[in-house]
Amino acid sequence: MSTGTVLYDLPGPRTRRRHRYYGLAATLVLLALAGGILYLLFRTDQFTAAKWNPFTYVGIQKLLLTGLANTLRAFGLAAVLALALGGMLAAGRLSVHRALRWSCAVLVEFFRAMPVLVMIFFIYVALRAEPFVALVSGLTLYNGSVLAEVFRSGVNSVEHGQGEAAYALGMRKTQVMVHVLAPQAVRAMLPAIISQLVVALKDTSLGYLITYEEFLHAGKLIAANLDYDLPFIPVVVIISPVYIGLCMLLSWLATWVARRQRRNPKVETDEVAAPEPGLLQQEDHRAHG
């Protein structure tokens, strides 16, 4: 029996048939929703050439590409800083020093409970920071505090006996964390880390509220300058697949990293020659002699 079916029975013919019916019903519902949306778009003349010709202009294309580049720049920096901040706060929360542990716990709970938009506005208005700095700082503080809990729970999910065995070998706490606990915890933490990075990517759209020229802000500028009814629909049709594609790319990256981690290195041993005839009898003779 394979390891994937140890804890449950394989579905029988009736169960598999029922699952196929469920899948068919869900597919029909999704197709009906997609058909309804397309019907509404066609009924409101959203696919006429006049509403899509503006997107062939070089100026509008450059505006969208600039907004996308600014979104990726803010997300990339915020992701790196959030991972670093989360690692430091998690290390503090796992510290044996009570003062450091409680201080990090207060910071994590405060920034995790604070709405990210409030932090962005506070940094932008009260501290008079640039829009890019305010957006990255708000995303870093919020997502870093959430990732700190992800890291801490991932490390705590590793069996305590492994850490105790490493300490018994004379390893210091930093060595135990880096070489024993963290590598094993990464596999458990990876889905949650990628999910939080997806949240950070989508939250970059909050930058348009503080006039940061990111992707959504570029779309808003384009929709405001179009002179026909419902101008935001073509803009949403163009912008939404880009966000979806970026989130799917992050999910694919997580799957790829997890698959590489599951590959255990194969240790090849040298072939051992078979004993010559009569050799075992000679050894046994010497042992009894």
- Mean pLDDT, all residues of the chain: 82
Q: Is residue 46 part of a domain?
A: no
Q: Tens digit of pLDDT for each residue in 12-29?
A: 788 888 888 999 999 999
pLDDT average, residue stretch 123-152: 94
Q: Tens digit of pLDDT for each residue in 218-231?
A: 988 888 888 777 77
Q: Is residue 5 part of a domain?
A: no
Most confident of 47-51, 137-141, 238-242, 263-267: 137-141
Q: Tens digit of pLDDT for each residue in 174-192?
A: 777 777 777 777 777 888 8
Q: Is residue 189 part of a domain?
A: yes
Q: Tens digit of pLDDT for each residue in 58-76?
A: 999 999 999 999 999 999 9
pLDDT at residue 262, as a whole number? 66
**What does the DSSP assignment read for 54-113?**
GGGSHHHHHHHHHHHHHHHHHHHHHHHHHHHHHHHHHHHHT-S-HHHHHHHHHHHHHHHH
Q: Is residue 280 part of a domain?
A: no
More confident residue, 231 or 4: 231
Q: Is residue 37 part of a domain?
A: no
Q: Is residue 120 part of a domain?
A: yes
pTM: 0.76
User: Nearest to residue 133, comparing CAs of 77, 209, 189?
Assistant: 77
- Cβ burial of 82 (10 Å; 0-12, 13-18, 19+) is buried
Specify the CATH number for the domain of residue 119.
1.10.3720.10
More confident residue, 157 or 147: 147
Q: Is residue 217 part of a domain?
A: yes
Q: How many domains does the chain have?
A: 1
Q: Tens digit of pLDDT for each residue in 88-125?
A: 999 899 888 899 999 999 999 999 999 999 999 999 99
Q: Which domain holds residue 129?
A: 58-261
pLDDT at residue 288, as a whole number? 53
Taking CA atoms, 18 is separated from 11, 22, 27, in Å, by 10, 6, 14
* pLDDT band per the 50, 70, 90 thresholds, residue 1: very low
Residue 230 CB-half CA count within 13 A: 13
